[in-house]
Structure 1
Amino acid sequence: MERLYRNRGGYRGETVDPAALLAACESAGRREGWRIEHLSVAGRDHPLVVLRREARRQPTAGPSRRIYLSAGIHGDEPAGPLAVQTLLESGTLPDTHAFWVVPCLNPAGLAANRRENPDGIDLNRDYRHLRSPEVRAHVAWLLQQPSFDLCFCLHEDWEASGFYLYELNPDDRPSLAPAMLQAVREVCPLDLSPVIEGRPAHGGLIRPDIRPETRPEWPEAFWLLQQGHTRWSYTLEAPSDYALPVRVQALTRAVQAALHVLGNTG
């Protein structure tokens, strides 16, 4: 695969119809017996769609886990929602774990191919101050859910030269990052820069500072950690300057690889 070099000053790639994507996710969910919820968002025409499925059998190794998966918080990052659609339609999410899935947290932004919501708010910087109706609706829903054992937040980076990820793992569990990066390497280059987004990186892996005072604006993954909703999460960043199918496959493979390791090791 080759880098396209078409992003100049922002994302200039393919777009996605959020209504069609969410309809496809709901259809796949119904076929597989998922429970579907619609979260009303003040001032928006379309609700947030949430899919949930309980574990159906015990894993062969370790306990059943509660796993959260979200995408589409930035409207100019279509690969994440498409990866969620692919995972739902493929039926490859293991039934040994319970899942909570939010395919698109910013449908209006996705429709406009715009990072922010219609009010110009970057939703992934709003989980401390809750200024946006999307994040308020999302947080209100999250507060009604149990804590999650593992979380995935799917993203893209239009400036990146390759795939990379963030790991929040304060309890120092055996990292799932090596398996994810190895799986991605087969379909998409990794960003091997020593510094990514101003943070030290090692082979495509960033372990950011988790002290609240270092983050005046909280992203989704940081809120989940600080509020005690998880102690283990990965934010996956596909490089937007590659073809959309490559980015979707990279995100999909990363999630599948992590779940495979989790299922085999407990």
Structure 2
Amino acid sequence: MGRLFRNQGGYRGETVDVTAVLEGCAAAAASHGWEGEVVPVEGRPPLWIWRREGMGAAAGVARRRVYISAGIHGDEPAGVLAAQQLLAMDCWPAGVSVVLIPCLNPSGLQLNRRENPDGLDLNRDYRHLRSPEVRAHVGWLEGQGSFDVSFCLHEDWEAAGFYLYELNPHGLPSLAEPMLRAVEHVCPLDLSPVIEGRPASGGLIRPAVDPESRPEWPEAFWLVQHGKTRLSYTLESPSDYPLAMRVDALVAGVRAALEAWTSVGPAPVG
């Protein structure tokens, strides 16, 4: 199925029952032996965080640590559904430990709006920490170790197709090509030379990582600037396509990246 051309001036697509999705995540995680953690958020629903310890790593070999988040924008339902699907599939390479946060902005999902109830875009708040959701998230992150790679699952209601942001300040082997190859089998890529005001090539954007170049920081930028990840990908699924296609694109991208990374990617940080 092709582009729907439904989104005019904002997201006009499908919505989800965030409570039901988070309950589905909890059921899937419990069935596969994941450990759950609840992080309180002042005046908001808590953050649910799921953790899976890597199995099958060779003796004396450090586990690779993966971070996945979704649902930071309340008008982007594909990310939370992709998180639920990844939990339900429970198909991870050997020796990989995963931390997964299925929804960073449950109040926004309930309202079907990008921002939180105070009108703050959480993915622009990781420098100034004005929102209770981001303060709680950052407080939790500060107590964690580093992750070898991170994936932030998003949508873009204006996009012509799927695209990626890559933050790779250490020049590590890129996972972008296998991700884009896998995604284009289920969803068109955005091949525009400029996406969101930034130069792009084949669906890939590599923005500057200079902290002073960004007056407002997204989640991925905070993770890199604070040494919580060495390699970060923000996956942008096109909201003007059917929801199932967008979910499949995000899942395909994450799975392809992990398959490629565990064979040729950077050595674990642990």
Q: What interval of TM-score do these two structures reach, taking the shorter chain for normalisation?
A: over 0.9
What is the deviation of 1:95? 4.5
TM-score (norm 1): 0.97
| Counterpart secondary structure, 1:234 | strand
1:10 counterpart residue number: 10
What is the deviation of 1:92? 1.2
Output the aligned Cα RMSD: 1.2
1:20 counterpart residue number: 20
1:181-220 equivalent positions in 2, closer than 5 A: 181-220=180-219
Cα distance between partner residues in 2 of 1:39 and 1:95: 28
TM-score (norm 2): 0.96
What is the deviation of 1:91? 1.4
1:54/1:5 CA distance change after superposition, 3 Å: same
1:73 counterpart residue number: 72
What is the deviation of 1:56? 1.6
Cα distance between partner residues in 2 of 1:59 and 1:163: 36
1:130-141 equivalent positions in 2, closer than 5 A: 130-141=129-140
Cα distance between partner residues in 1 of 2:219 and 2:128: 12
1:1-266 equivalent positions in 2, closer than 5 A: 1-44=1-44, 46-58=45-57, 64-266=63-265
What is the deviation of 1:54? 1.1
What is the deviation of 1:96? 1.9
| Counterpart secondary structure, 1:36 | strand
Cα distance between partner residues in 2 of 1:263 and 1:59: 13
The answer (yes or no) to whether the contact 2:128–2:216 under 8 Å persists in 1 is yes
Gaps of 5+ in 2: 266-270
The answer (yes or no) to whether the contact 1:68–1:150 under 8 Å persists in 2 is yes
Q: Which runs of 4+ in 1 moved over 4 A?
A: none
The answer (yes or no) to whether the contact 2:108–2:117 under 8 Å persists in 1 is yes
Cα distance between partner residues in 1 of 2:77 and 2:150: 19
Gaps of 5+ in 1: none
Q: Percent identity?
A: 64
| Counterpart secondary structure, 1:9 | coil
2:268 counterpart residue number: none
Cα distance between partner residues in 1 of 2:58 and 2:211: 35
How many residues align? The count is 264
What is the deviation of 1:37? 0.7
